[in-house]
Amino acid sequence: MLLKILLGFLCGVTAQQSPPPLLLVSFDGFRADYLKRFPMVNLKLLYSQGVLVDELTNVFVTKTFPNHYTMVTGLYPESHGILANNMYDPVSHQYFHIGEKNDPWWWNEAEPLWVTALDSGYKTAGMMWPGSDLPIRNRTPTHFLHYDPGVTFKQRVGNVTNWIIGDGKEVGVKFAALYWEEPDKSGHFYGPDNTTAMAKALKEVDDNIGVLVSELKRTGLWGRINLLIASDHGMTQCSTERLIRLDDCLQPDSYTLVDLAPVTAIIPHTDPKAIVDLLNKCHTHITAYLKEDIPVRLHYRNNIRIQPVIVIADEGWTIVQRGNKLRKVGNHGYDNALSSMHPFLAATGPSFRQGYHISSLQSVDIYPLMCHLLSVPPQPNNGTLTKARCLLAAETCLDTGLVILLMVLQVVLLVLIMAALLYILQRNRRRSVL
């Protein structure tokens, strides 16, 4: 009997200590204000039972690979090393190109959560998430599929839920990261201002969220799993009226091009300062920087993979080498201070508050939040749990509005007490004179 009680107690403790599984889903290029522009019935139902962050302040450059790696490392690109979709490494003299087979060592400057969580004894999974099908610091997640855009959303979700449930003999996955290509693909093709086309693309995304919720319900995971739905960046409308031709600014043989639009990375063959001056004089809708002069707020200086000259186009402007061709009607990559570049974050599950909402959060803060949810010791990172903590059911956080109201009440109370004291003092003095 005593043994039974002891076992029961120990099991209770272990069950209590083991956190719920965590599933992070990214819908590429989901601009924050799509939530206001389009119905998104399933997504809205999901966060009405959980939490919503209206806008995530993501990281520069606002491209897919840098931002996805930030979400799972909590680091700015200058610290995790995936600085753009196209890069050059001056030590190895190698190039990195999105969509091509790149060596895994490009990712080794950081350790993603699906690797770190292995050290806590957890199984992890990556489903098409950038980097998750490669050995990073010699380790992959426990389960992954090689990147294949032909794998449907339903197939991705089916695999992930199977991995989370486990096969009865083996325990399931504790952390999984799942990636989906839309609405980014449609945003590039039609442009975010094409309401008819984007409504169709967003309806499909919302249907996929419906598929995800149904699958979690069917497998009994709904209500037992913490689910984060996020995105990497937004999207803005481009135009053939807003083209900037590098050939109009620079001699084609005076530089090597590493990345083009909307952030151009250049290796100058001549004096870098002269190249920067030529570019800045050439067009009012670009700003060229020497690497050491890139604004500190962009956190985009301290890495050898950042080239000596960086050119940033204004919102909606496209840098091309020559000609009049606009390859992408919508694009992203611009300054991360722009609202159009911001995505959103929604979450639901046993650890989250219900029907709660905050207006903003840094995307580097997602990593410490996920480590907290999994009780995994975080790697050094640029995020903080301070604000994200307020999204959690176990935390008592006061609204900023409420804090201000309480402070005002305190001041009013203080003034009233002072006035009362003064009144009493004066009355006593008058009495003593009489």
C-alpha distance from residue 222 to each of 29, 126, 218, 241, 417 (Å): 26, 20, 8, 48, 54
Report the DSSP beta bridge partners of residue 26.
179, 230
Give the residue nearest to Zn ion (CB).
Answer: 64
User: Is residue 231 near Zn ion by the rule CB under 5 A?
Assistant: no
Q: Please work out the total of residues on this chain that contact ligand AMP, with binding judged by CB under 6 A.
A: 14
CB burial readout 25-51, b (16+ within 10 A) else e: bbbbbbbbebbeebebebbeebbeebb
- Interface with ligand AMP includes 66 (CB under 6 A)? no
Give 320's contacts (C-beta < 8 A, 6+ positions apart).
243, 244, 245, 246, 260, 261, 326
Q: Which does 128 bind (CB under 5 to 8 A by kind): Zn ion, ligand AMP, none?
A: ligand AMP
**According to the binding rule CB under 5 A, does residue 109 interact with Zn ion?**
no
Using CB under 5 A, pick the residue from 26, 58, 62, 64 that binds Zn ion: 64
Contact 209, 42 (CB under 8 A): yes
Nearest-approach distance from CB 384 to Zn ion, in angstroms: 24
Q: Residues 348 to 367: which contact ligand AMP by CB under 6 A? A: none
Locus of tokens 């990073």: 136
Task: Give CA–CA dist 95/85, Å, rounded.
Answer: 11
Q: Does 181 bind ligand AMP (CB under 6 A)?
A: yes
**In whole angstroms, how close is the CB of 68 to Zn ion at the nearest point?**
7
Give the contacts of 88 (CB within 8 A, at least 6 positions apart): 94, 95, 96, 256, 258, 265, 267, 305, 307
- Which residue from 112, 110, 55 is spatially nearest to 78, judged by alpha carbons? 110
Single out the catalytic residue among 14, 62, 64, 396: 64
Alpha-carbon distance of 264 to 274, in angstroms, equals: 16
Verify whether residue 64 is a known catalytic residue. Answer: yes
List the single partner that 98 binds among ligand AMP, Zn ion, none, CB under 5 to 8 Å by kind.
ligand AMP
Which of 184, 259, 335, 365 binds ligand AMP (CB under 6 A)? It is 184
Binder of ligand AMP out of 42, 45, 98, 360 (CB under 6 A): 98
Among 139, 185, 245, 301, binds ligand AMP (CB under 6 A): 185
* Contacted by 87, from Zn ion, ligand AMP, none: CB < 5 to 8 Å by type: none
Which positions lie near ligand AMP, rule CB under 6 A?
Answer: 28, 63-64, 85, 98-99, 128, 130, 147, 149, 179, 181, 184-185
Known catalytic residues are 64
